[in-house]
Amino acid sequence: MPQIFSPKADGLARLTIWGVAIAVVVALGVTFLLMRSPYATAVGLVRDQPVPFSHKHHVGGLGLDCRYCHASVETSAFAGVPETEVCMTCHSQLWTDADVLEPVRESWATGAPIRWQRVNSLPDYAYFDHSVHVAKGVPCEACHGRVDQMPLTRKAEPLTMSFCVDCHRDPAKRLRPKSAVFAMGWSTKKSRAELGHYLMKANGIQTETLTDCSTCHR
């Protein structure tokens, strides 16, 4: 009886078995990493905006407070995106001829709103409330990153469920005194752990209910 398989077949068989095994492990690993990578979470995402608004210039350079434009951040779930009127408060005086500001002037003139492209987006079934986070000392920077260093707004954090839950379990490491909530790049000389512990107490934050599903989903 002649051999059905050539001597190479054994090598091939071993290669297949190990290959499949390794491929499965690698595929799982790659998927695991990919789901946490910017590819899936869109960290670093920048969108074309009608006006190339620079937080770097306005916040980092001019030192505008976040609340000047995002006015409802302390009172509403929605932080608020400035009305054309807010832009025009300054830009009716400054850079009145700048080409990049043409859409703003046009909006002001015609009454047609500026259509911004959302960068930080949560699914509709996740309910996030800016006001309560701000009130409890969660800084803007925790989710939005160093916007004072962003010439164009980009997504700074993955904003996945684990990202949220991570902080809801242990907010202490991110909490700041209320005066520093809107600050960028703030740091403290005190012990971070001690400060966090103190703020948790002072703000009456109980983590127990923070990981309840109904906290964010309803």
Partner 1 sequence: MTTAADSSLHAAEPGSAPVVADRGLSRDVSDVVLERPTSRAWLIWALASLALTMVFAYAILHLFIAGVGIWGVNTSVVWGLALTNYVWWIGIGNAGTLISSMLYLTRQDWRSSINRFAEAMTLFAALIAGLFPILHLGRPWLFAWLVPYPTTMGLPPNFNSPLVWDFFAIAVYLIVSLTFWYIGAVPDFATLRDRARLRRQQVFYGILALGWRGSAGHWRRYERAYILIAALATPLVVSVHSVVGLDFAASVAPGWNEPIYPPYFVVGAMYSGFAMVVVLAAIIRSAFNLHAYITERHFDLMGKMMLFGALVLGYSYAMESFIGWYSAEDMHLSIVVYKATGDYWWVFWSLIACNVVIPQALWFPAARRRILPLVVIAILINIGMWLERYGIIVFTLSHGHMPSGRADYMPTVWDWALTIGSLGFFLLLFLVLVRLVPIVSMHEMRKLLRGRVQ
Partner 2 sequence: MTEPRPRYLLNFADETALKSALDRLPSDKLEIVDAFLPFGDEEIAERIGAGRNRLNLVTLVGGLCGAGFIFALQAYSFLVAYPFDSGGRPSLSWPAFLIPTFEIGVLAAVLAAAIAMFRANGLPRYHHPLFEVPRFERTTQDELALLVRSLDGSYPGGRDALLSFGATSVSEVWE
Partner 3 sequence: MSADKHTLVDRLSRARQSGAKGPSRRTALKLMGATAAFSSLAGCVPPREEIVPYVDMPEGMVPGTPLFYASVSPTTGCGVLVESHDGRPTKIEGNPDHPMSLGATDAASQADVLDLYDPLRTEAVHRDGDLTSWGDFVASFRTRVRAHREQSGQGLAILTGAVRSLTLAGQLDSLSETMPEAAIYRHEPISDAATRAGAARSFGEPALPFPHLDRAEIVLFLDANLFAEPTTGVRHARDFAARRRARGGAGDFNRAYAVESETTTTGASCDHRLALPPSGIDRFAHALAARFGIGPEAGMDSDPADRFLDQVAADLDGHRGRGAVVAGRGLPAEIHDVVNRINVALGNAGTTISYLPPVDPGLDTLPGLAQLQDDAFAGRIDSLVILDCDPIYSAPDPERMRAALEAVDVTVHHGLYLDATAKACDWQIAARHFLEDWSDVQAADGTVAICQPLTRPLKGGRSVHELVALMAGDAVTAPHDLVRRTWQNRFEQEGADGGSFQERWRKVLHDGLVPGTGFTPIAPELAPAPPASSDASMPPKTDGLEIALSPDPFLWDGRRAANAWLQELPRPVTRLVWQNAMFLSPHDGAALDVSDGDMVRVKTNGATIELPATVQPGQAVGAASLHLGFGREIAGQVQNAQGVSAFSLRPDTDTWRLTGAKISKTGDHRPLLRTQHDFDTPDARTSEIVSLADYRALGPKEREEPPESLYPERLDDEGYAWAMVIDQSACIGCGACVAACQAENNVPVVGPEEIARNRDMHWLRVDVHQTPDETPETRFQPVPCMQCEKAPCEPVCPVEASVHDHEGLNDQVYNRCIGTRFCQSNCPYKVRRFNFFDYAGDPIQEAEQTPTEPSLLQALKNPDVTVRGRGVMEKCTYCVQRISAARRDAKVDGRALADGEIKTACQAVCPTQAITFGDKNDPGSAVSQLREEPHEYALFGHLGTRPRTTYLKRVVNAAPDLASDGHDGSEESG
Q: Give me the residues that bind partner 2 (CB under 8 A), please.
A: 1-10, 13-14, 17, 165, 211, 213
CB of 131 to partner 2, least distance (A): 27
Residue with tokens 């009127």: 85
Spacing of C-alpha 71 from chain mean position: 19
If contact means CB under 5 to 8 A according to the sort of partner, which of partner 1, partner 3, partner 2, none does residue 111 touch?
Answer: partner 3
CA-closest candidate to residue 159, choices 128, 181, 180, 197: 128
Any contact of residue 92 with partner 3 (CB under 8 A)? no
Q: Could you say which DSSP state residue 48 is in?
A: -
Any contact of residue 31 with partner 3 (CB under 8 A)? no
CB of 130 to partner 3, least distance (A): 8
How is 10-34 classified by DSSP, letter by letter?
HHHHHHHHHHHHHHHHHHHHHHHHH
Per the structure block, which two tokens stand in for 70? Answer: 């995002």
Any contact of residue 136 with partner 1 (CB under 8 A)? no
Are 192 and 215 in contact by the 8 Å Cβ rule? The answer is no
| Residue 7 neighbours by CB distance under 10 Å | 8
Which phi and psi (to 5°) does residue 83 adopt? -70, 160
Q: Is the CB of 1 or the CB of 109 nearer to partner 1?
A: 1
Residue with tokens 């009456």: 204
CB of 158 to partner 2, least distance (A): 18
CB of 79 to partner 3, least distance (A): 8
Please say whether the dihedral angle defined by the alpha carbons of residues 87, 93, 94 and 98, taken in this order, is positive or negative.
positive
If contact means CB under 5 to 8 A according to the sort of partner, which of partner 2, partner 1, partner 3, none does residue 125 touch?
Answer: partner 3
If contact means CB under 5 to 8 A according to the sort of partner, which of partner 1, partner 3, partner 2, none does residue 7 touch?
Answer: partner 2
CB of 158 to partner 3, least distance (A): 11
The residues binding partner 3 (CB under 8 A) are 39-40, 42, 45, 47, 72, 74-78, 80-85, 107-108, 111-118, 121, 123-127, 129, 131-132, 135-136, 203-204, 206, 208-209, 212-215, 217-218
